[in-house]
Amino acid sequence: MAHLFLFTLLALSSSLPSIFAAHTAGFHLRLTHVDSGKPFSSTGRIHHLVQRSLHRRKVLESRLANNPSASFNVPVKASMFDYFIEYSIGTPKLPVTGVLDTGSEVVWAKCRPCSEQCDEKGIGIYDPSKSSTFSKLPCSSPLYDYQPLKSVSVPKCEYVYVYGSAMINGFLATETFSLGAESPTVNLTFGCNRLVKGTFSGASGVVGLGQGKLSLVSQLNLGRFSYCLTPFKSSSKSHLILGDLASAKKASSGEVQSTPFLNATDQYYVAMRGISIGVNLLPIPASVFEYSKEESTGVVVDSGSGQTQLPQSAFDVIKKELQSLVGLRVKDMSKTVGLDLCFGLSSWPPPPLPDMVFHFDNGADMRMPQMNYMFTDKRTRAYCLVMRPGQNGDKLTIIGNYQQQNMHIIYDVASRMLLFESTPCESF
């Protein structure tokens, strides 16, 4: 039975030697949406997306505040992540399934013997004693002093790490990973978890592509990676590209835009300067989106969040503009779809809306058609904005994956640039 292995996207670090030099072209992998093949209605799927986004925010809150105990007691019943990927671990190869997430910094796997969640139905767990290529790192390894593993004081040869509402305990090791049928087998340092509590129910680990020296991209010394997410209601698989294949103008139908990453070490921050709907530049001060590590503000591009989060002041301006454009009464659909702004429709189809545009540094414009920011459902007459305001004064902006549909998003970690282009991802 395939392991569920949560897959998070990580960034480049030149401190580790390349073990991927012979395959610099990289490779192309398929991504499956977490709700694919499940008997959910459209409203059920969007409701689950909202819940996952809220859980995801708890994880980011814990990381950005550098608070290992933040949100530890939050109960989580749904997966926090949206996209799965298949690969193998160990010798002989054991098939596993992972999840796409651009925020985590370390590769994890559930290991036997374990003390909790060892016998979940349908979840296989990696057994290092059955792999000939498993090797435990010595207690003297300096990697135990790596900051993400120092969240809680524990014995030298172990770590305890709080990941949002989950806690994991284990040790460091090396093992072989195969990231697809045509990819090379590579050795990676990873965390072998014997205790897993909370959010990781229904999964067997995490592999990160965030900004840290233990990330997948750093360990493989890749210069860039990209993904192309198919539309929310599509049954087609999405795409993940690792290495030099992650280049712009691949099946592109739009101009390539680029904006630099900010010099932040924890997440993929960019500088956003404003928001337009149609030809109207909305009256939102650029200062609303300014980055501050101390205040946990700024704009993060995050594949692991479903819906975009905005500071309350920015959300209110967008809400007012949409109310003016739509011209319909606001309808409370929080119990059915979980979204903050919905309109009551008496007829179908809903009134069309112009593109929404996020304006970034370097003149880059992320242009989103109506389907990238509004959810529609004929059966329930739902017509809702798939964005939410920050809670309790939260001023962080998170650009979620719903807004990234049909876009080729390229993380050029070597050049510290984010590139994006409008692309029909179903034919990517």
Calculate the average pLDDT of the chain.
83
Residue 166 within a domain = yes
Residue 56 within a domain = no
* Domain region containing 409: 251-427
Q: Which residue has the tokens 């919905």?
A: 342
What pLDDT does 412 receive?
96
Cross-strand bridge partners of residue 375 = 384
- Identify the weakest region by mean pLDDT among 1-5, 235-239, 270-274: 1-5
pLDDT digit string, tens, across residues 84-136: 877 788 999 887 777 777 888 887 888 888 776 566 655 667 899 999 999 99
Other CB atoms within 10 Å distance of the CB of residue 381:
17
Residues 286 and 354 in one domain: yes
pLDDT digit string, tens, across residues 306-362: 999 999 999 999 999 999 999 999 999 998 999 999 999 999 999 999 999 999 999
Residue 191 within a domain = yes
- Would you please indicate which residues are annotated as catalytic (active-site) residues? 101, 302
Position with higher pLDDT, 319 vs 169 = 319
Cα–Cα distance measured from residue 77 to residue 180, given in angstroms and rounded to the nearest whole number: 30
Residue 50 within a domain = no
The CATH number that applies at residue 303 is 2.40.70.10
Q: What is the pTM of this model?
A: 0.87
* Cβ atoms of residues 177 and 89 within 8 Å: yes
Question: Domain total for the chain?
Answer: 2
Residues 187 and 284 in one domain: no
Residue 68 within a domain = no
Residues 207 and 268 in one domain: no
Asked if pLDDT for residue 79 goes beyond 60, the answer is: no
Residue 47 within a domain = no
251: left (phi over 0), alpha (psi -120 to 50) or beta: left
Position with higher pLDDT, 52 vs 372 = 372
Asked if pLDDT for residue 13 goes beyond 80, the answer is: no
Cα–Cα distance measured from residue 147 to residue 10, given in angstroms and rounded to the nearest whole number: 15
Residue 73 within a domain = no
Residues 7 and 135 in one domain: yes
Residues 265 and 129 in one domain: no
Confidence of residue 62 (pLDDT cuts 50, 70, 90): low
Residues 271 and 218 in one domain: no
Residue by residue, DSSP assigns 64-104 as: HTT-TTTTTT----S-S--EEEEEEETTTTEEEEEE--SS-
Confidence of residue 9 (pLDDT cuts 50, 70, 90): very low
- Identify the weakest region by mean pLDDT among 24-38, 153-167, 309-323, 340-354: 153-167
Residues 215 and 115 in one domain: yes
Residues 159 and 20 in one domain: yes
Average pLDDT over residues 406-419: 96
pLDDT digit string, tens, across residues 204-224: 667 788 888 888 888 988 899
| Residue 319 CB contacts under 8 Å (≥ 6 apart), including other chains | 341, 385
Amino acid making up residue 11: A
Residues 345 and 403 in one domain: yes
What pLDDT does 279 receive?
97
